[in-house]
Chains A and B, each alone.
Chain A
Amino acid sequence: MNIVRNFPAVSILLCLFAGIISSGLKKKMAGYVNTVLISIVGLLSISTLFYVLSTGEAFVYVMGKFPAPWGNEIRAGVLEAFMALFFCIIMLLSLFGGRKKLTDEVEEGKTFLYYVLMDLLLASLLALVYTNDLFTAYVFVEINTIAACGLIMIRQNGRTIEAAARYMIMSLLGSGLLLMGLCMLYDLTGHLLMSNIKEQVAFVYASGEYRIPLLVTIALLSVGLAIKSALFPFHAWLPDAYGYSTVSSAAVLSSLVSKGYIFLLIKIIYRVIGFEIFYESRIVDALFAFGLMGMIFGSISAIRENDIRRMIAFSSVAQIGYIYMGIGMGTQAGMEASIFHILSHAATKSLLFVAAIGLTDVSGGSRQFIELTGSGYRNKWAGVAFTVGSLSMVGVPLFSGFVSKLLFAQAAVQNDIKMLPALIVLGISTILNAIYFMKTVIRIYTPLEDSKYGSITFKNMKLYVAALVCFIILNVALGVSSQPIVDLIGQGLAMFS
């Protein structure tokens, strides 16, 4: 057995251990441990990715000595390894970008806890990505929720605690539904491992019995995960949670936590229920419809917002709508587009959050638009980065957002019924995106005559600028050389079944 086969399990365990060890470490050390941990996990994911690419098929790692129908398994394919790698990159960059802010906003004695939570979050994300067992997935969903809640709350003020409470309540509703769905699925099939469930589901479906329970199960699973990933109209907690938590938390929450749930949903679609059966239930149409509504209402709320952080948060609602629209399209191409959008949105949204904090910092800490006037000149790097992020969100060619819109539209024209609504809403939402992002860009580049704030130079924050530059490179790379990544996604989806 090749040693690489141990890597997925090892990386999950490493994260858990690092979390435990960090809780006994000093603030600085915990930070170092976290950085090293994320880098190691990234390297492990790269080697897993190359291994899977070279063998050409996914492998299964059996936890303990229990064989297939009883034991717990980990399964790594191209897409899983790639997602793990991508999550590591985004998390590392978000932490670098927000490090300075973190020391300002979190109580001195509690910073190490932040890294503990990050370690746990990474562990749960990796587990969600890799696991082949539904109940394990549920347990890690809950760990993920708890860690995310801590990340929101660690900056102590009334808003964040309230946001954390709302986030918790919504998440618990979602995971309640998810757990119910799991139990019913177990009831129907008698298995917990994804591959076994899929066989049984196909069998049950072919027999023609239990149609309604199966439908209810699919609905429970999808709605549960949709609630957790803040699909419209379950997004009420999101603007406060993203808007007031410390910046790394906001970046990580918007680009990783919700995406982890979406990835789990995609896995359930492919590996548990089966692509065809999932699409023959009409649940996808509901997801599609809510996705479309999210695209519009998220953007409209963002336009009405006067606070830059909350505006970006509302834009996340719209972007999650895009992803669900792709899933709801019911084609392989739509799914590929959705997964690509997961990547491009993660790269762009965390860039925007990190850049926005740089802009507010040079505007006396205020996040109101009126105060941001001219901030693009005071903090040049953040201004450029914010502009790049906005252009990508609007879907200007050469940036990642354009490619995902292109893929969505290409997927849409393949589906004759959903083509028109998808394209029209895509168009409207593009224009709405343009309205609020361009408004902001123009605002930050409108010169302010009496400069009452000092400007920030490169020397002040090397790490921050480095993170921004990496984000920009990531964004342009996704936009320019999208084809290899789309191929990779296609290959990964093929490995799912």
Chain B
Amino acid sequence: MYYIILSILFPILTGLYLLVRKEIKDRKRLLTITGIFLVISGALVILALCMAGNGIFTLFNLTERLPVLFRIDEVSVVFSVMTVIIFLCAGFYSFVYMKHEEKEKRYYGYYLMVLGVLIALCFAGNLITFYLFFELLTLSSMPLVLHNGSREAIMAGLKYLFYSLSGAYMSLFGVYFVERYGNTLTFSPGGVISAQAAAEHGGILLIVCFAMLIGFGVKAGMFPMHAWLPAAHPVAPAPASAVLSAVIVKAGVLAIVRVVYYIFGASFLRGSWVQNAWMVLTLITVFMGSMLAYREPVLKKRLAYSTVSQLSYILFGLAVMNEGSVTGGLLHVLCHGFIKTALFLCAGAIIFMTGKTKVSELRGIGKEMPFLMWCYTIVSLGLIGIPPTGGFISKWYLAEGALASGIPGFNWIGPVILLISALLTAGYLLPLTIQGFFPGADFDYSALKKKEPPLLMTVPVLILTVLSVGIGLFPQVFINYLSQIVEKII
């Protein structure tokens, strides 16, 4: 039992320790300490997953009816393992990357705290605990956005804060109603709304559910509350934008999974106007995100827009609410997590080595850092959905699920939009590869130098690339595990 709380508190407390302690002059020492903390945190999470079983751990009671409690289930496993892997990769990567940024200690402090809060979100056992850490996530991740302290960063941070707080409040609004009409706030597969309550207060509960979807959807960058994401993600240091874009936004996805499948229940929502409205919103987001990414010249911003679009793939899968689509959505959580981290780390490595941010400036980059660009190309293919990468499998399930759903209109318009968006994805990711490796006949090759980044940068990218391809090569392992979840909640 106590492993759970240990795995949550350890990163938070060590993060606090780093924040409050005196400036460490010796950079090597700081990195050693941080590295040890990161590895221990990761180990503790794995330990908690192995040892804790299915028990409930109540920390304390906020009020009589609202305990703060934790429990590990399959969804927690998926999200927490992904979080740990990505945090370790991006963490070690930042040991090199952060060399040219100031205030490293502060950065690592908040980085560890965000890790702890995310783990707590994964393990949260009821809605109020989830909400509590959801707010803390906003607050602890904001310093990452604000890190370089420029005016642009502060404006982006404020934007992030206000969008998130407004969203969180809309969700809190829902929590009150769920507390009144539901049986309990504890997450239980299939929902907590009794048939009687659904019959009597169905109308208001649907409105509440929609409010919560929009509210938690803020974190997941869902239209109409997506505008903060392209502003906030690129201003952070690259490893921080990687975790922001790959993991922290997944907290929004996790929130929606919990709300839809563990609080309201799929059977309550299926066929309602909420489902239709939700699907429309996600499809708009998918398309719009890809279009905006396609038009964006700055690489990191382009990747941020791509996050907007890809997250709504996941949300669309969740919205369709049948086995195939939900499996695809959850699998895409993993794929997108690994791929987007790898992409941001590549973008970061390019900035670190060359200082260039715009795609158009990067002609011939493939000749300068071939290894990195190969990784970039492979994960890009994954995001587009070309076999044998993981992205292909998840998108296949998504499209198949949508086709099989039988929801009139959406069963064909959904897959079509997904397909168009995949083409756009190719359109915005591959130009870098093409320009990078084939700069054209007029290009002056003599100016190029080998600029392969240091090992601590390339290895994390490599690990993530291997993982994203691994999902595609051995999909059955993942599908089997995910279907355990899906069986319970559909």
Interface residues of A (CB under 8 A from B): 391, 394, 396-398, 403, 406-407, 409-410, 412-414, 423, 427, 430-431, 434-435, 438-439, 442, 446-447, 480-483, 486
Interface of B is mostly: helix
Q: Given A396-B139, A397-B135, are A403 and B63 neighbors across the interface (CB < 8 Å)?
A: yes
Are B132 and A397 within 8 A (Cβ)? yes
Q: Which residues of A contact B176 (CB under 8 A)?
A: 409-410, 412-413, 423
B177 at the interface (CB under 8 A from A): yes
Q: Which 7 A-B pairs have the closest CB atoms?
A: A397-B132, A409-B176, A434-B165, A427-B169, A483-B63, A413-B180, A413-B176
Contact B62 A482 (CB under 8 A): yes
- With both beta carbons as reference points, the residue of chain B lying nearest to A397 in the complex is identified as B132
Are B169 and A409 closer than 8 Å at their CB atoms? no
Bound Cα distance A414, B179 (Å): 12
Q: Least Cβ distance of B181 to chain A in Å?
A: 9
**B158 contact from A391, A439, A486, Cβ within 8 A:** A439
> Which residue, of A394, A403, A434, has the highest number of chain B Cβ atoms within 10 A?
A434
Determine the distance from Cα of A442 to Cα of B139 in the docked complex, in whole angstroms: 12
How far is the CB of B124 from the nearest CB of chain A, in Å?
12
A483 to B162 CA separation, bound complex (whole angstroms): 30
Q: Hey, which chain A residues are within 8 Å of B161, CB to CB?
A: 434, 438
Chain A residues near B63 (CB-CB < 8 A): 403, 406-407, 482-483, 486
In the complex the two chains form, is B170's CB within 8 Å of A446's CB? Answer: no
Contact indicator A446/B166 (Cβ below 8 Å)? no
Contact between A435 and B162, CB atoms less than 8 A apart:
yes
Per the 8 Å Cβ criterion, residues 139-164 of B in contact with A are 139, 146, 149, 154, 157-158, 161-162
Residues on B with beta carbons closer than 8 Å to the beta carbon of A434: 161-162, 165
A394 touches B158 (CB 8 A): no
- Whether B149 lies near A430 (C-beta < 8 A) is no
Q: Bits for B34-70, please: 1 = Cβ < 8 Å to A, else 0.
A: 0000000000000000000000000011111010000
B169, chain A: closest CB distance, angstroms: 5
Indicate if the CB atoms of B146 and A442 lie closer than 8 Å: yes
Q: Using CB atoms, name the residue of chain A closest to B161.
A: A438
Please determine whether B154 and A430 come into contact, CB atoms closer than 8 angstroms: no
Give the A-B contact count at a CB cut-off of 8 A: 65
* Min C-beta distance of B423 to chain A, whole Å: 39
Contact (Cβ within 8 A) B131 A442: no
Q: Do A442 and B154 have beta carbons less than 8 Å apart?
A: yes
Residues of chain A within 8 A of B169, CB atoms compared: 427, 430-431
Closest to A427 in B: B169
Assess whether A427 is in contact with B173, with CB atoms less than 8 Å apart: yes
Contact of A410 among B136, B162, B179 (CB under 8 A): B179
Partner of A391, one of B64, B139, B170: B139
Contact (Cβ within 8 A) A398 B132: yes
- CB of B172 within 8 Å of the partner chain: yes
- CB pair A413–B177 under 8 Å, yes or no, is yes
B166 to chain A: which residues have CB within 8 Å? Answer: 427, 431
Task: Identify A438's interface contact among B158, B173, B179, CB under 8 A.
Answer: B158
Q: Give Cα A396–Cα B135 distance, bound, in whole angstroms.
A: 7
- Distance in angstroms from B225 CB to nearest chain A CB is 13
A318-B146 Cα distance, complex, nearest whole Å: 29
- Measured in the bound complex, the distance between the Cα atoms of B180 and A217 in whole Å is 37
With A406-B63, A413-B176, A442-B157 given, is the CB distance from A431 to B132 under 8 Å?
Answer: no
A410-B176, A413-B180 known, 10 other contacts, Cβ within 8 Å: A396-B139, A398-B132, A406-B66, A409-B176, A430-B165, A431-B165, A442-B146, A442-B157, A446-B154, A480-B60
Whole-angstrom distance between the Cβ of A452 and the nearest chain B Cβ: 18
How far is A397 from B131 in the complex, measured between Cα atoms in Å? 8
Contacts of B66 in A (CB 8 A): 406
Q: How far is the CA of A93 from the CA of B166 in the complex (A)?
A: 34
Residues of A within 8 A of B146 (CB): 442
Within 8 Å CB of B158, what residues of A? 438-439, 442
Give 30 A-B contacts (CB < 8 Å), ordered by A residue.
A391-B139, A394-B165, A397-B62, A397-B131, A397-B135, A397-B136, A406-B63, A409-B173, A410-B176, A413-B177, A413-B180, A423-B173, A423-B176, A427-B166, A427-B173, A430-B165, A431-B162, A431-B165, A431-B166, A434-B165, A438-B158, A438-B161, A439-B158, A446-B149, A447-B149, A480-B62, A482-B62, A483-B63, A483-B64, A486-B64
User: What is the distance, in angstroms, from A421's C-beta to the closest C-beta of chain B?
Assistant: 13
Residues of B with C-beta under 8 A to A410: 176, 179
Give CA–CA (A407, B179) in the complex, Å.
Answer: 12
Cα separation A408 to B249 with both chains bound (whole Å): 30
**Least Cβ–Cβ distance between A405 and chain B, in angstroms:** 8
Expressed in whole angstroms, the Cα–Cα distance for A435 and B62 within the complex equals 26
Q: How far is the CB of B104 from chain A (nearest CB, A)?
A: 14
Which residues of B are found within 8 Å of A447, using beta-carbon distances?
149
Contacts of A486 in B (CB 8 A): 63-64
Complex contacts, A409 vs chain B, CB 8 Å: 172-173, 176
- Give the CA-CA distance A329 to B451 in the complex, in Å: 67
Give the distance in Å from the alpha carbon of A407 to the alpha carbon of B176 in the complex. 10
Chain A positions within 8 Å of B179 at CB level:
410
Looking at the assembled complex, report how far the CB atom of A209 sits from the nearest CB atom of chain B, in whole angstroms: 40
Question: Which of A423, A430, A442, A481 counts the most chain B CB atoms within 10 A?
Answer: A442
Contact assessment for A427 and B139 in the assembled complex, using a CB-CB cutoff below 8 Å? no
Query: Which A-chain residue is minimally distant from B146 (CB atoms)?
Result: A442
Cβ–Cβ < 8 Å partners of A439 in chain B: 158
Closest B residue, CB atoms, query A394? B165
| Contacting residues, chain B, for A431 (C-beta < 8 A) | 162, 165-166, 169
CA distance A407 to B172 in the complex (A): 12
**Chain A residue, CB-CB nearest to B169:** A427
CA distance A406 to B62 in the complex (A): 10
C-alpha spacing A438/B63, complex, angstroms: 27
Taking CB atoms and an 8 Å cut-off, the chain B residues in 224-245 that contact chain A are: none
> What residues of chain A lie closer than 8 Å to B135, measured between beta carbons?
396-397
Smallest CB gap from A447: residue in B: B149
Give the nearest-CB partner of A396 in chain B: B135
**Residues of chain A lying within 8 A (CB to CB) of residue B173:** 409, 423, 427
Within the complex, the shortest CB–CB distance from B220 to chain A, in Å, comes to 20
CB distance from B314 to the nearest CB of A (A): 27
* Complex CA–CA separation, A191 to B16 (angstroms): 61
Q: How far is the CA of A431 from the CA of B255 in the complex (A)?
A: 21
Chain A residues with CB under 8 A of B132: 397-398
Name the CB-closest residue of A to B180. Answer: A413
Residues of A within 8 Å of B64, CB to CB, are: 483, 486
Distance between B166 CB and nearest chain A CB, rounded to angstroms: 5
Determine the distance from Cα of A480 to Cα of B68 in the docked complex, in whole angstroms: 10
CA distance A483 to B65 in the complex (A): 9
Name the residue on B nearest A405 (C-beta).
B172
Report which of B61, B154, B170 forms a contact with A427, defined as CB distance below 8 A.
Answer: B170
Residues of A near B154 (CB, < 8 A) are: 442, 446
State A410–B179 Cα separation when bound (angstroms): 9
